[in-house]
Amino acid sequence: MTSLIQLGYLASAILFILGLKALARPRTAVRGNLLGSAGMLLAVVVTLADQNILTYTYLAVGLALGAIIGTILAVRVQMTGMPQLVALFNGFGGLASLLVGAASYLELIDRPEAIGNDTAAAAGFTLLIGAVTFTGSLVAFGKLQEIFNGDSFQDQGIRVFAVVSLVLAVGLAVAVVLSPSPLWMWALIAIALLAGIALVAPIGGADTPVVIALLNSFSGLAAATTGFVLGNSVLIIAGSMVGASGLILTQIMCKAMNRTLFNVMFSSAAVAGGGGDSDDIYTGKVTSSSADEVALILDTAQSVAIIPGYGMAVAQAQHAVRDLTRALEERGADVVFAIHPVAGRMPGHMNVLLAEAEVPYEQLKEMEHVNPQFDQTDVSIIIGANDVVNPSARQDPTSPIAGMPILDADKSRTVVVIKRSLSHGFAGIPNPLFAADNTLMLFGDGKAAVEDINRALAEI
Amino acid sequence: MTFLIALTLFVLAIFLGVELISKVPPTLHTPLMSGSNAISGITLIGALVAAGADHSLLTTILGFGAVVLATINVVGGFLVTHRMLGMFGSNRKRQS
């Protein structure tokens, strides 16, 4: 029986490997997701067949309850809300690992002959990583959902607290191994929960995609360490593969912002106070425009680049933008979408939103491909993006976003910025592009503004 | 399973994960993340063992909570990924 169960887990691990591989390629991604879910189903069935399980009632109720809640969340979420949902799921995964770690540890210390140092150490790590993943993800969720503003925690004290509590938590993890007792365990959990909050709270809004990717990696690691505690191969294999894939995405995001992970986690962006005062930059220099004027310019444009940001998603403007694209193409213009790697609030967020609006995949251009073309672009239309087109990143070494690769929209002949106001982006700094001579500001709701342009274009 | 075997699996699986994911295109970043997130819900296996072992009331409660949370993670994660990939898919069909 036992070896049959082990073989079942092996089959499930193979399904996860094939699933992840397929998930990373556009043609096979759907199949990859299905393979992954098949692997999960198999693992659950195999576990339920295990003789060690004595009570099935709680399990059935728990599985049903979780499945109902998960389905409701997955079916009801808007694509704009994807980052929040992934953060929330991450947090649930982390907390689940934490609870498993706690239950296993409590069981182990009742049988002193069974607890080895390695198992106890694995339990300690599970508690630590699970707790940090849980509260860290909840804080990220709160920022994304705009329950609270991330930049209000830019205090150096909280970073010091984060480091101190992490060190303390590692110390408690050692205590959990050397003198096993429930007291050390609860202390470790409490401190690690606080450390998760303190680690994520001060991270600036512009860095959220990095944090989401990193927490994704952590939730995988927590599952892997749970596997060490239980001596379960499929947990170790699946968990560490997710950990690795999350780390790769973290690395891609860091590269896109020209920052190191350490820098994202521990350096305070706003403390430098760079970026200049908004009044100095904007007063008397901002040119406000109208939909009719923008339509006239677009009517003669040969090449147009559209730069979408999270604001486009909030305004639900992606369908109006697609109509604008088609109208311009009918006039013979060449239209591309320039996508910054960290546009939106999680890796690849813009691509999902534009796919929802049925924008052809070929029209979406990555930053490296589109940047050399901006000086031959007649009009760049920026919809709800801010920090990713802020030329301060190139020009002002004191700016908090200095050195971050940006889309060089400012180099195109005319720049049209559709935005509700001159308010700051996620990085919390003014954008000199809005005051540039070749920039026209079209103030208003993204969707309404683009629809006005479409109407004006049709009348020309 | 001895600790060394577990460690071997862990390290090899990390290398495997890096190999599998390293060339993922930006379009798939979000679905990959939500899909792999669902896979990390594999901790559900541990939750089932903890909840079903009938050790003490406390461990059963902890295990039960873990089962609910991990199932939300798994079911929600795979479903939302499927929904997202469906958008890419229908998009591609319309063009061809």
List pLDDT tens digits, range A3-18: 888 999 999 999 999 9
Is the domain of A344 the same as that of A403? yes
CA–chain centroid gap for A96, Å, is 21
Tell me the pLDDT tens digit for each residue of A160-217: 888 899 999 999 999 888 888 899 999 999 999 999 999 998 887 677 888 889 999 9
Question: B46 and A358: CB-CB below 8 Å?
Answer: no
pLDDT value for A287: 87
Nearest residue in B to A104, CA atom: B50
Query: What would the two tokens of residue A364 be?
Result: 């979406």
Is the domain of A159 the same as that of A254? yes
Nearest residue in B to A52, CA atom: B53
Q: Which of B13, B84, B92 sits opposite A241 (nearest CB)?
A: B13
Answer yes or no: is pLDDT of A54 > 80. Answer: no
pLDDT value for A270: 46
A338: confidence class by pLDDT, cuts 50, 70, 90: very high
Is the domain of A250 the same as that of A115? yes
Q: Output DSSP code: residue A358.
A: T
Tell me the pLDDT tens digit for each residue of A396-418: 888 878 888 899 999 999 999 99
Residue matched to tokens 């198999």: A42
- For the segment A142-161, the average pLDDT, to the nearest whole number, is 76
Which residue, among A16, A17, A23, A35, would best test binding to B if mutated, counting the most B CBs under 10 Å from its CB?
A23
The set of long-range contacts for A70-73, using a CB threshold of 8 Å and a minimum separation of 24, is: A70/B71, A70/B72, A70/B73, A70/B74, A70/B75, A70/B76, A70/B77, A70/B79, A71/B75, A71/B76, A71/B79, A73/B72, A73/B76, A73/B80
B16 and A CB contact within 8 Å: yes
Answer yes or no: is pLDDT of A276 > 70. Answer: no
| CB interface of B with A, residues 39-58, below 8 Å | 39-56, 58
Cβ(A341)–Cβ(A309) below 8 Å = no
ipTM over cut 0.90: yes
Question: B3 and A92: CB-CB below 8 Å?
Answer: no
A265: confidence class by pLDDT, cuts 50, 70, 90: confident
Question: Final residue of a domain: which of A209, A235, A270?
Answer: A270
Residue A34, Ramachandran bin (φ over 0: left; ψ between -120 and 50: alpha; else beta): alpha
Cβ(A234)–Cβ(B7) below 8 Å = no
- Report how far residue A299's alpha carbon sits from residue A327's, in angstroms, rounded to the nearest whole number: 10
Is the domain of A350 the same as that of A221? no
Is the domain of A35 the same as that of A157? no
Cβ(A62)–Cβ(B70) below 8 Å = no
Question: A26 and B73: CB-CB below 8 Å?
Answer: no
Residue A379, Ramachandran bin (φ over 0: left; ψ between -120 and 50: alpha; else beta): beta
Of the candidates B3, B77, B46, the residue with the CA atom closest to the CA atom of residue A99: B46
Three-class DSSP category at A37: helix
Of the candidates A60, A136, A220, A62, the residue with the CA atom closest to the CA atom of residue B69: A62
- For the segment A243-266, the average pLDDT, to the nearest whole number, is 85
Question: B14 and A62: CB-CB below 8 Å?
Answer: no
- Report how far residue A236's alpha carbon sits from residue A228's, in angstroms, rounded to the nearest whole number: 7
Tell me the pLDDT tens digit for each residue of B9-43: 999 999 999 999 888 888 889 999 999 999 999 99
pLDDT value for A151: 59
Which residue, among A236, A345, A363, would best test binding to B if mutated, counting the most B CBs under 10 Å from its CB?
A236
Of the candidates A237, A132, A242, A143, the residue with the CA atom closest to the CA atom of residue A194: A132
CA distance A347 to chain B (A): 5
Q: Which residues pair with A419 in a beta bridge?
A: A443
Domain locations along chain B: 26-95
CA distance A112 to chain B (A): 15
For chain B, what is the mean pLDDT? Answer: 88
The structure's pTM equals 0.87
What is the SS3 string spanning B42-81? CHHHHHHHHHHCCCCHHHHHHHHHHHHHHHHHHHHHHHHH
Answer yes or no: is pLDDT of B47 > 80. Answer: yes
Q: Which of A61, A82, A243 sits opposite B17 (nearest CB)?
A: A243
Sign of CA pseudo-dihedral A383, A314, A352, A458: negative
Most confident of A277-291, A353-367, A422-436, B9-23: B9-23
- Report how far residue A339's alpha carbon sits from residue A158's, in angstroms, rounded to the nearest whole number: 34
Nearest 10 degrees: Cα torsion A395, A397, A402, A408:
10
Answer yes or no: is pLDDT of B93 > 60. Answer: no
A356: confidence class by pLDDT, cuts 50, 70, 90: confident
Range of the domain at A206: 82-270
B8 and A CB contact within 8 Å: no
Query: What would the two tokens of residue B87 be?
Result: 């958008």
Query: What would the two tokens of residue A200 be?
Result: 């994520």
- For the segment B60-78, the average pLDDT, to the nearest whole number, is 95
Residue matched to tokens 């935005």: A419
CB contacts < 8 A, A to B, total 384
| Cα–Cα separations (whole angstroms), residue A177 to A101, A118, A230 | 13, 8, 16
CA distance B50 to chain A (A): 6
Query: What would the two tokens of residue A437 be?
Result: 């001579």
Cβ(A100)–Cβ(A126) below 8 Å = yes
Of the candidates A282, A364, A297, the residue with the CA atom closest to the CA atom of residue A333: A297
Answer yes or no: is pLDDT of A115 > 80. Answer: no
Answer yes or no: is pLDDT of A286 > 90. Answer: no
| Cα–Cα separations (whole angstroms), residue A424 to A211, A283, A441 | 21, 15, 14
Question: A118 and B77: CB-CB below 8 Å?
Answer: no
Q: Which of A20, A66, A227 sits opposite B20 (nearest CB)?
A: A20
Cβ(A33)–Cβ(B37) below 8 Å = no
**Catalytic entry in A151, A207, A387, A408:** A387
pLDDT value for A273: 46
Answer yes or no: is pLDDT of A363 > 80. Answer: yes
Tell me the pLDDT tens digit for each residue of A372-392: 999 999 999 999 888 889 998
Q: Which of A47, A90, A349 sits opposite B49 (nearest CB)?
A: A47
CA distance A391 to chain B (A): 23
Give the number of C-alpha atoms closer than 13 A to the C-alpha of residue B40, restricted to the C-beta side.
38
- For the segment A293-298, the average pLDDT, to the nearest whole number, is 92
- Report how far residue A341's alpha carbon sits from residue A255's, in angstroms, rounded to the nearest whole number: 9
Which residue, among B45, B58, B81, would best test binding to A if mutated, counting the most A CBs under 10 Å from its CB?
B45
Nearest 10 degrees: Cα torsion A304, A416, A426, A363:
-10
| Cα–Cα separations (whole angstroms), residue A246 to A162, A251, A288, B31, B93 | 22, 9, 43, 12, 30
For chain A, what is the mean pLDDT? Answer: 88
Q: Identify whether A387 is a catalytic site residue.
A: yes
**Helices A208-230 and A233-256, axial angle in degrees (round to 10):** 160
- Report how far residue A70's alpha carbon sits from residue A83's, in angstroms, rounded to the nearest whole number: 16
β A364-366/A379-383 pair status: unpaired
Is the domain of A258 the same as that of A195? yes
Radius of gyration in angstroms for the set of CA atoms belonging to chain A, rounded to a whole number: 25
The set of long-range contacts for A190-193, using a CB threshold of 8 Å and a minimum separation of 24, is: A191/A165, A192/A127, A192/A128, A192/A130, A192/A131, A192/A132, A192/A165, A193/A131, A193/A132, A193/A134, A193/A135
Q: Which of B45, B83, B95 sits opposite A235 (nearest CB)?
A: B45
A253: confidence class by pLDDT, cuts 50, 70, 90: confident
Answer yes or no: is pLDDT of B94 > 60. Answer: no
Question: What residues of A are in contact with residue B57 (Cβ under 8 Å)?
Answer: none
Is the domain of A335 the same as that of A284? yes
pLDDT value for A398: 83
Question: B69 and A107: CB-CB below 8 Å?
Answer: no
- For the segment A112-134, the average pLDDT, to the nearest whole number, is 88
More confident position, A344 or A39: A39
Answer yes or no: is pLDDT of A153 > 80. Answer: no
Is the domain of A245 the same as that of A317? no
Q: Which of B17, B44, B91 sits opposite A355 (nearest CB)?
A: B91
- Report how far residue A359's alpha carbon sits from residue B39's, in angstroms, rounded to the nearest whole number: 29
- Report how far residue B62's alpha carbon sits from residue A99's, in angstroms, rounded to the nearest whole number: 5
Question: B40 and A242: CB-CB below 8 Å?
Answer: yes
Which residue, among B2, B4, B15, B30, would best test binding to A if mutated, counting the most A CBs under 10 Å from its CB?
B30
Number of domains present in the structure of chain A: 3
Nearest residue in A to B30, CA atom: A348
Question: A82 and B6: CB-CB below 8 Å?
Answer: no
A271: confidence class by pLDDT, cuts 50, 70, 90: very low
Question: B63 and A58: CB-CB below 8 Å?
Answer: yes
Question: B36 and A245: CB-CB below 8 Å?
Answer: yes
